[in-house]
Structure 1
Amino acid sequence: LAANLRERLAEVPGVRMEDRGVEQCGNVAVTFRDLDPFHVRSELLRCGINTWVCLDNAACHDMQLRGLSKLLRISVHYYNTEDEVRRLCSALEVLTAGRTTGVFA
Protein backbone atom coordinates (compact mmCIF):
# COMPACT_ATOMS: atom_id res chain seq x y z
CA LEU A 1 0.00 0.00 0.00
CA ALA A 2 2.81 2.43 0.82
CA ALA A 3 4.45 1.81 -2.56
CA ASN A 4 1.07 2.34 -4.27
CA LEU A 5 0.58 5.55 -2.28
CA ARG A 6 4.01 6.86 -3.29
CA GLU A 7 3.37 6.05 -6.96
CA ARG A 8 0.04 7.86 -6.91
CA LEU A 9 1.36 10.86 -4.97
CA ALA A 10 4.16 11.27 -7.52
CA GLU A 11 1.43 11.97 -10.11
CA VAL A 12 -0.34 14.70 -8.10
CA PRO A 13 0.79 18.17 -9.22
CA GLY A 14 1.91 20.38 -6.36
CA VAL A 15 2.72 17.50 -4.00
CA ARG A 16 6.31 16.76 -3.06
CA MET A 17 7.28 13.65 -1.14
CA GLU A 18 9.86 14.44 1.52
CA ASP A 19 10.77 10.85 2.39
CA ARG A 20 14.43 10.01 2.55
CA GLY A 21 16.32 6.80 2.94
CA VAL A 22 16.71 3.52 1.17
CA GLU A 23 14.08 1.67 3.20
CA GLN A 24 10.70 3.34 3.38
CA CYS A 25 7.81 2.43 5.62
CA GLY A 26 4.08 3.12 5.65
CA ASN A 27 4.56 6.74 6.77
CA VAL A 28 4.82 9.16 3.87
CA ALA A 29 5.74 12.80 4.49
CA VAL A 30 4.65 15.40 1.93
CA THR A 31 4.71 19.14 1.39
CA PHE A 32 2.63 21.22 -1.01
CA ARG A 33 3.61 23.90 -3.46
CA ASP A 34 0.76 26.28 -2.61
CA LEU A 35 -1.08 24.79 0.36
CA ASP A 36 -0.58 24.77 4.09
CA PRO A 37 -0.51 21.23 5.53
CA PHE A 38 -2.97 22.26 8.26
CA HIS A 39 -5.48 23.35 5.61
CA VAL A 40 -4.99 20.10 3.68
CA ARG A 41 -5.43 18.03 6.84
CA SER A 42 -8.62 19.91 7.70
CA GLU A 43 -10.09 19.33 4.23
CA LEU A 44 -9.11 15.67 4.25
CA LEU A 45 -10.75 15.22 7.66
CA ARG A 46 -13.98 16.54 6.13
CA CYS A 47 -13.64 13.66 3.63
CA GLY A 48 -13.16 11.14 6.43
CA ILE A 49 -9.43 10.81 5.69
CA ASN A 50 -7.11 11.05 8.69
CA THR A 51 -3.59 12.45 8.34
CA TRP A 52 -1.27 14.33 10.67
CA VAL A 53 0.80 17.52 10.52
CA CYS A 54 4.36 17.16 11.80
CA LEU A 55 6.12 20.31 12.94
CA ASP A 56 9.85 20.84 12.88
CA ASN A 57 10.11 20.07 16.59
CA ALA A 58 9.21 16.45 15.77
CA ALA A 59 12.30 15.95 13.61
CA CYS A 60 14.27 19.01 14.55
CA HIS A 61 17.62 18.32 13.00
CA ASP A 62 16.45 16.85 9.70
CA MET A 63 13.60 19.25 9.01
CA GLN A 64 15.57 22.32 9.98
CA LEU A 65 18.50 21.28 7.77
CA ARG A 66 16.09 21.04 4.85
CA GLY A 67 14.27 24.28 5.67
CA LEU A 68 10.98 22.54 6.43
CA SER A 69 8.71 23.83 9.17
CA LYS A 70 5.77 21.43 8.69
CA LEU A 71 4.86 18.31 6.76
CA LEU A 72 1.70 16.34 6.20
CA ARG A 73 2.20 12.76 7.33
CA ILE A 74 0.12 10.14 5.58
CA SER A 75 0.23 6.67 7.13
CA VAL A 76 -1.09 3.44 5.69
CA HIS A 77 -1.52 0.25 7.66
CA TYR A 78 -2.66 -3.31 7.01
CA TYR A 79 -6.33 -2.37 7.44
CA ASN A 80 -6.26 0.35 4.76
CA THR A 81 -7.33 -0.43 1.21
CA GLU A 82 -6.23 0.56 -2.27
CA ASP A 83 -9.57 2.35 -2.66
CA GLU A 84 -8.72 4.53 0.35
CA VAL A 85 -5.36 5.39 -1.22
CA ARG A 86 -7.18 6.31 -4.44
CA ARG A 87 -9.69 8.49 -2.56
CA LEU A 88 -6.90 10.29 -0.73
CA CYS A 89 -4.99 11.03 -3.93
CA SER A 90 -8.16 12.13 -5.72
CA ALA A 91 -8.92 14.55 -2.90
CA LEU A 92 -5.35 15.89 -3.04
CA GLU A 93 -5.65 16.39 -6.81
CA VAL A 94 -8.76 18.51 -6.25
CA LEU A 95 -7.14 20.52 -3.45
CA THR A 96 -3.87 21.17 -5.27
CA ALA A 97 -5.80 22.30 -8.35
CA GLY A 98 -7.40 24.99 -6.19
CA ARG A 99 -10.87 23.54 -6.42
CA THR A 100 -13.15 22.77 -3.53
CA THR A 101 -15.96 21.03 -5.37
CA GLY A 102 -15.30 17.37 -5.84
CA VAL A 103 -13.16 16.95 -2.72
CA PHE A 104 -15.92 15.10 -0.94
CA ALA A 105 -16.84 12.75 -3.79
Structure 2
Amino acid sequence: MAMPTLSAPSAESRPYDADTTACFSVQANADPGVMSRVLELFAKRGLVPTSWHSRVGGIRGDELIIDLQMHGMVPSEAEFVAACLRQIPDVDSVLTSERFRAAAE
Protein backbone atom coordinates (compact mmCIF):
# COMPACT_ATOMS: atom_id res chain seq x y z
CA MET A 1 0.00 0.00 0.00
CA ALA A 2 1.34 3.41 -0.95
CA MET A 3 2.12 5.87 1.81
CA PRO A 4 0.21 9.14 1.60
CA THR A 5 2.34 12.18 0.94
CA LEU A 6 1.91 15.36 2.91
CA SER A 7 2.68 18.76 1.54
CA ALA A 8 2.84 22.19 3.10
CA PRO A 9 -0.24 24.33 2.69
CA SER A 10 -0.07 26.54 -0.35
CA ALA A 11 0.63 30.22 0.17
CA GLU A 12 -2.77 31.03 -1.33
CA SER A 13 -4.61 29.13 1.41
CA ARG A 14 -3.01 31.08 4.27
CA PRO A 15 -4.20 34.49 5.44
CA TYR A 16 -1.64 37.13 4.51
CA ASP A 17 -1.17 40.74 5.61
CA ALA A 18 1.41 42.55 3.48
CA ASP A 19 1.64 45.39 6.02
CA THR A 20 2.54 43.22 9.02
CA THR A 21 5.71 41.43 10.09
CA ALA A 22 5.54 39.04 13.04
CA CYS A 23 8.63 39.10 15.27
CA PHE A 24 9.66 36.27 17.59
CA SER A 25 12.41 36.16 20.20
CA VAL A 26 13.11 32.68 21.52
CA GLN A 27 15.33 32.00 24.53
CA ALA A 28 16.33 28.39 25.11
CA ASN A 29 19.04 26.12 26.42
CA ALA A 30 21.89 25.89 23.92
CA ASP A 31 20.85 22.46 22.68
CA PRO A 32 21.72 21.47 19.09
CA GLY A 33 18.16 20.39 18.29
CA VAL A 34 16.37 23.59 19.28
CA MET A 35 17.06 25.52 16.06
CA SER A 36 15.75 22.76 13.83
CA ARG A 37 12.61 22.38 15.96
CA VAL A 38 11.97 26.14 15.77
CA LEU A 39 12.47 26.20 12.00
CA GLU A 40 10.24 23.13 11.59
CA LEU A 41 7.20 25.08 12.83
CA PHE A 42 7.60 27.47 9.90
CA ALA A 43 8.67 24.89 7.32
CA LYS A 44 5.64 22.66 7.88
CA ARG A 45 3.50 25.69 7.05
CA GLY A 46 5.42 26.26 3.82
CA LEU A 47 7.15 29.35 5.23
CA VAL A 48 10.73 30.57 5.22
CA PRO A 49 11.40 33.22 7.89
CA THR A 50 12.14 36.63 6.41
CA SER A 51 14.94 37.15 8.93
CA TRP A 52 16.76 34.76 11.28
CA HIS A 53 19.51 35.62 13.73
CA SER A 54 20.75 33.29 16.44
CA ARG A 55 23.54 33.47 18.98
CA VAL A 56 24.77 31.65 22.06
CA GLY A 57 25.27 33.78 25.15
CA GLY A 58 24.16 34.23 28.70
CA ILE A 59 26.27 34.36 31.84
CA ARG A 60 27.55 30.80 31.41
CA GLY A 61 27.36 30.76 27.61
CA ASP A 62 24.63 28.14 27.71
CA GLU A 63 21.70 30.18 26.42
CA LEU A 64 20.52 30.20 22.80
CA ILE A 65 18.77 33.34 21.61
CA ILE A 66 16.90 33.21 18.29
CA ASP A 67 15.36 36.35 16.82
CA LEU A 68 13.28 35.79 13.72
CA GLN A 69 10.77 37.68 11.63
CA MET A 70 8.02 36.49 9.31
CA HIS A 71 6.64 39.05 6.86
CA GLY A 72 2.92 38.78 6.09
CA MET A 73 2.01 36.55 9.04
CA VAL A 74 -1.35 37.56 10.51
CA PRO A 75 -1.60 38.02 14.31
CA SER A 76 -3.74 34.91 14.92
CA GLU A 77 -1.23 32.67 13.15
CA ALA A 78 1.69 34.36 14.94
CA GLU A 79 0.01 33.73 18.31
CA PHE A 80 -0.52 30.07 17.43
CA VAL A 81 3.11 29.64 16.30
CA ALA A 82 4.33 31.36 19.50
CA ALA A 83 2.24 28.94 21.59
CA CYS A 84 3.78 26.01 19.68
CA LEU A 85 7.29 27.44 20.17
CA ARG A 86 6.67 27.56 23.92
CA GLN A 87 5.97 23.79 23.90
CA ILE A 88 9.39 22.90 22.42
CA PRO A 89 11.64 21.15 24.94
CA ASP A 90 14.48 23.39 26.23
CA VAL A 91 12.66 26.61 25.24
CA ASP A 92 12.54 28.94 28.24
CA SER A 93 10.59 31.89 26.83
CA VAL A 94 9.08 33.25 23.63
CA LEU A 95 8.40 36.96 23.16
CA THR A 96 6.38 38.28 20.24
CA SER A 97 5.76 41.64 18.63
CA GLU A 98 4.52 43.06 15.34
CA ARG A 99 6.02 45.55 12.94
CA PHE A 100 3.74 47.52 10.67
CA ARG A 101 4.69 49.10 7.39
CA ALA A 102 4.07 52.83 7.42
CA ALA A 103 1.16 53.96 5.24
CA ALA A 104 2.22 55.63 2.01
CA GLU A 105 1.37 59.30 1.87
Please give the TM-score of this superposition, normalised by the length of structure 2: 0.38
* Structure with more relative contact order (C-alpha pairs < 8 Å, separation 6 or more): 2
TM score, norm. by length of structure 1: 0.38
- Give the number of the structure whose residues are more often strand, by fraction: 2
Q: Flag the structure with higher helix content.
A: 1
